[in-house]
């Protein structure tokens, strides 16, 4: 499932996940730069954790992996492994 791929990426980049009925919210306890919101529908948003300003958002795994590489320092090898495993 798409939401599972997003969870893997969040965990691999040091986020703590808080699951809820619509998906999950994630934060880094020792890094106050970003908050991540992912819905089970495939929608995602990255916000500045200090101002709540929207930094990036999108839909689907492809755009999520691009944003994770840019904002969360997701290694390209991990992004490619997740893409292969969850390719539709």
* Domain tally, the chain: 1
Over residues 54-75, the pLDDT tens digits come to: 999 999 999 999 999 999 989 9
Domain of 21 in residue numbering reads as 2-85
Residues of the chain scoring pLDDT < 50? none
pLDDT of residue 88: 56
Question: Which of 17, 7, 15, 18 is CA-nearest to residue 72?
Answer: 15
What is the reported pLDDT for 4? 93
Contact (CB, 8 A) for 86 and 61? yes
- Sheet containing strand 23-28, edge to edge, reads 16-20, 23-28, 31-39, 43-48, 54-59
* pTM of the complete model: 0.88
């Amino acid at each position: 499932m798409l939401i599972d791929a997003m969870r893997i990426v969040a965990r691999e980049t040091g986020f703590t996940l808080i699951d809820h009925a619509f998906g999950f919210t994630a934060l880094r306890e020792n890094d106050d730069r970003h908050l991540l919101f992912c819905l089970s529908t495939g929608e995602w948003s990255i916000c500045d954790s200090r101002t709540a300003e929207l930094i990036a958002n999108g839909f689907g795994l492809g755009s999520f992996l691009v944003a994770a590489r840019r904002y969360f320092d997701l290694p390209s090898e991990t992004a490619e492994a997740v893409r292969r495993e969850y390719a539709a």
